[in-house]
C-alpha cells in the first residue's frame, strides 16, 4: 500500500505540478482582492477535484462504452505523459502555461479564472485525467483505489496551499530554482510514463 501511495503521489505531483501552478495563478489574480484570490483558489481546486474524481471512478466504464481497451489507454496515456515530461525537461510546458495565462488576463471580460484556465486545464488537464484513470485501473480492490484517491487528495490539498501562498512561494523559489525542480520532475515523469507503456504492451502481448 505504501508503494502504491508513493507512486501515485509522485505521479500526481509531477503532472499537476502545484509549485508550477502558483506563478500562473499569481499573475492571473494580480489585480484581485485578497478575498477574491482565496475564493478562486479554493474554487479551482474543488472543480478540478470533482472532474478528476469522476474520471477516476467512471473512466474505465466510459472507455468500455467507447470500445477502448484499458491496455490501449495505458499505452496512449503513457505516451501522452511522456510528451508532457519532455516539455518539462526542455521548459516548454511552463512557457505554454504562461502564454495561456497571458491570453486569459488580456481579456477584460474574464474575471473569475477558477474554472478556466486554473481548474481546466491547469489542474485537471489531459495528463492528470489520464493519470487518475491509469492508477485507478492498476489498483486491485477497494483498498488500493482508496489509496490512490488519498494520494490525489493530498496533492490537491498541496495545490490549494500553493495557490493560496502563490506570492510568497514565488519570492522564495525564484525562477531558476523553479526551472531546476521542473526539469528534475520531468525526468521522473518520463520514467513513470515509460512504465505505463511497458505495462500496456506486456498486458496486450500476454492476452
Output the CA torsion 203→191→156→104 (10° steps): -110
CA 176 to CA 37: how far, in whole Å?
25
Place of cell 495565462: 101
What's the confidence (pLDDT) of residue 105?
A: 58
**Nearest Cα to Cα of residue 131 among 9, 2, 6:** 9
Tell me if 6 is assigned to some domain: yes
Does residue 96 fall inside a structural domain? yes
Residue 91 covered by a domain: yes
Region of 112 please: left (phi>0), alpha (psi -120 to 50) or beta: beta
Determine the structural domain holding residue 86 and report its residue range: 2-202
Cell of 31: 489585480
113 lies in some domain: yes
The one-character DSSP state at 30 is: T
**What is the model's pLDDT at position 158?**
96
Position 130 scores a pLDDT of: 87
* Mean pLDDT per 10-residue section of the chain, whose length is 207 residues: 90 88 77 86 96 93 86 82 78 61 54 82 84 86 93 97 84 71 75 83 81
Residue where the block lists cell 477516476: 56
User: Is 207 part of a structural domain of the chain?
Assistant: no
Query: CB–CB of 203/74 below 8 Å?
Result: yes
Count of domains observed in the chain:
1
CA distances to 95, 130, 207 from 22, rounded to whole Å, are: 14, 22, 44
Compute the distance between CA of residue 89 and CA of residue 95 in angstroms, rounded to an integer. Answer: 12
pTM of the model: 0.74
What pLDDT sits at residue 107? 55
Looking at residue 110, what is its pLDDT? 44
Amino acid at each position: 500500500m505504501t508503494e502504491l501511495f508513493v507512486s501515485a503521489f509522485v505521479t500526481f505531483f509531477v503532472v499537476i505540478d502545484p509549485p508550477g501552478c502558483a506563478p500562473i495563478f499569481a499573475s492571473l489574480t494580480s489585480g484581485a482582492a485578497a478575498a477574491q484570490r482565496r475564493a478562486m483558489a479554493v474554487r479551482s481546486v474543488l472543480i478540478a477535484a470533482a472532474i478528476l474524481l469522476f474520471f477516476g471512478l467512471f473512466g474505465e466504464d466510459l472507455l468500455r462504452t467507447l470500445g477502448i481497451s484499458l491496455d490501449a489507454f495505458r499505452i496512449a496515456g503513457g505516451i501522452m505523459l511522456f510528451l508532457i515530461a519532455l516539455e518539462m525537461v526542455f521548459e516548454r510546458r511552463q512557457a505554454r502555461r504562461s502564454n495561456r495565462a497571458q491570453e486569459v488576463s488580456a481579456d477584460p471580460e474574464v474575471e473569475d479564472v477558477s474554472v478556466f484556465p486554473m481548474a481546466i486545464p491547469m489542474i485537471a488537464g489531459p495528463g492528470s485525467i489520464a493519470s487518475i484513470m491509469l492508477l485507478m485501473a492498476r489498483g486491485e480492490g477497494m483498498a488500493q483505489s482508496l489509496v490512490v484517491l488519498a494520494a490525489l487528495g493530498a496533492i490537491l490539498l498541496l495545490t490549494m496551499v500553493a495557490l493560496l501562498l502563490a506570492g510568497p512561494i514565488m519570492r522564495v523559489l525564484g525562477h531558476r530554482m523553479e526551472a531546476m525542480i521542473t526539469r528534475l520532475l520531468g525526468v521522473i515523469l518520463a520514467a513513470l510514463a515509460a512504465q505505463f507503456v511497458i505495462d500496456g504492451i506486456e498486458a496486450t502481448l500476454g492476452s
